[in-house]
């Protein structure tokens, strides 16, 4: 079943999302580079779940609301989003920036959340595991550093850039800076409230992640001792792309038990 496009007016923000499939709701929260297209892992997950892929406020085809000043605003917005779509026991899958959003939501309210899958999430800092400076990397270097297997980078770099795609890339970059410039890609207050998360958590990471090094996964496990950790070999920052099949199997196994 193909993904269909929807718009939801919420908190003064016209929000674009794609939706496909039936069953338990699964909300995928994208990372800094957005979710401009439907990727194979989304289609695979839509065979088992009611998959909802919103574009965050300030990203893609969604509005840039004036109130958007910090990651906390995004967390409250997505709690409203779950309410608005009346989702029950939703699986929240968050990649990178989206994983950070999932954590910020879950420390506030898990009443509509069934479980969290955190895919190389931002949000916390770990001693000795310095994140790449994504704001000093050129667009090409950013894409190269996302992947372990460079053929994925080559594929992305080969896609011609339309003026619309450039506009969206600049918009996404702007919002990422607004949310994550300082403190860089994390919230220093978050660790002290992580104990509030009372739903099952899976932490997924590529061992060769050059954007957020795998050392952060160990720190997150220390902070969330009941979480399960899955590390992928020969894999960079986007396991859902580089290891799509294993990733989807993992999500199904974890979320459907």
Partner 1 sequence: MQIVLFHLMPYADLDLAAGRKNGTVWVTLPNRNFDPQKGHRLYNRYLDELEYGEELGFEVLAVNEHHQTAYGLMPSPIVTASALARRTKRARIAILGSALPLRSHPMMVAEEHAMIDVISGGRLISGFVRGIGAEYHTFGVNPTFSHDRFHEAHDLIVRAWTEPGPFSFHGHHYRVRYVNLWPRPYQKPHPPIWIPSQGSKETIDWASHPDRRYTYLQTFSPVKVVQRYLKQYRDTCAGYGYSCEDRQLGWAVPVYVGETDAAARAEAKAHFEAFRNVYVRMPLEMLLPPGYTSRESLKNVMKAKAQMFGDVTLEQALELGLFVCGSAETVYRAFEQYWADLRFGNLLVMCQFGTLPADLTRANMERFARGVMPRLKALN
| Sites of contact with partner 1 (CB under 8 A) | 135-138, 166-167, 170-171, 173-174, 176-178, 181-182, 184
Min dist. Cβ of residue 184 to partner 1 (A): 7
Min dist. Cβ of residue 151 to partner 1 (A): 25
Q: Would residue 89 be called left, alpha or beta, if left means φ above 0 and alpha means ψ between -120 and 50 degrees?
A: left
Residue 174 to residue 178: CA distance in whole angstroms = 6
Beta-bridge partner residues of 200: none
SS3 of residue 197 by DSSP: coil
Q: CA separation (Å) from 34 to 89, 231, 253, 257?
A: 25, 23, 26, 30
Min dist. Cβ of residue 187 to partner 1 (A): 14
When the beta carbons of 186 and 243 are compared against partner 1, the nearer one is 186
When the beta carbons of 38 and 137 are compared against partner 1, the nearer one is 137
Residue 80 to residue 77: CA distance in whole angstroms = 5
Tell me the angle at which helices 163-180 and 71-84 cross, rounded to the nearest 10 degrees. 110
Min dist. Cβ of residue 131 to partner 1 (A): 14
When the beta carbons of 177 and 256 are compared against partner 1, the nearer one is 177
When the beta carbons of 22 and 184 are compared against partner 1, the nearer one is 184
Residue 94 to residue 41: CA distance in whole angstroms = 13
Residue 51 to residue 43: CA distance in whole angstroms = 9
Min dist. Cβ of residue 167 to partner 1 (A): 7
Min dist. Cβ of residue 68 to partner 1 (A): 10
When the beta carbons of 171 and 221 are compared against partner 1, the nearer one is 171
When the beta carbons of 110 and 142 are compared against partner 1, the nearer one is 142
Q: CA separation (Å) from 249 to 98, 234, 236, 237, 243?
A: 20, 18, 18, 18, 10
């Amino acid at each position: 079943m193909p993904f269909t496009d929807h718009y939801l007016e919420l908190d003064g923000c016209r929000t674009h999302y794609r939706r496909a499939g039936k069953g338990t709701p699964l909300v995928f929260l994208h990372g800094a580079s957005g979710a401009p297209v439907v990727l194979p892992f989304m289609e695979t997950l839509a065979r088992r779940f009611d998959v909802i892929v919103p574009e965050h406020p300030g990203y893609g085809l969604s509005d840039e609301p004036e109130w958007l000043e910090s990651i906390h605003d995004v967390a409250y917005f997505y709690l409203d989003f779950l309410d608005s779509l009346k989702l029950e026991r939703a699986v929240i899958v968050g990649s990178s920036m989206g994983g950070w959003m999932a954590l910020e939501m879950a420390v506030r309210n898990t009443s509509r959340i069934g479980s969290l899958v955190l895919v190389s999430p931002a949000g916390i800092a770990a001693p000795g595991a310095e994140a790449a400076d994504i704001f000093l990397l050129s667009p090409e270097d950013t894409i190269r550093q996302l992947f372990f297997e460079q053929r994925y980078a080559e594929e992305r770099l080969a896609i011609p850039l339309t003026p619309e795609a450039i506009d969206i890339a600049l918009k996404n970059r702007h919002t990422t800076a607004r949310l994550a410039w300082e403190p860089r890609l994390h919230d220093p207050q978050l660790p002290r409230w992580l104990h509030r998360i009372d739903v099952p958590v899976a932490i997924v990471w590529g061992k060769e992640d050059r954007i957020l090094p795998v050392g952060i996964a160990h720190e997150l496990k220390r902070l969330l001792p009941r979480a399960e950790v899955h590390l992928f070999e020969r894999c960079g920052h986007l396991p859902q792309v580089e290891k799509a099949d294993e990733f989807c199997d993992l999500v199904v196994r974890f979320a459907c038990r």
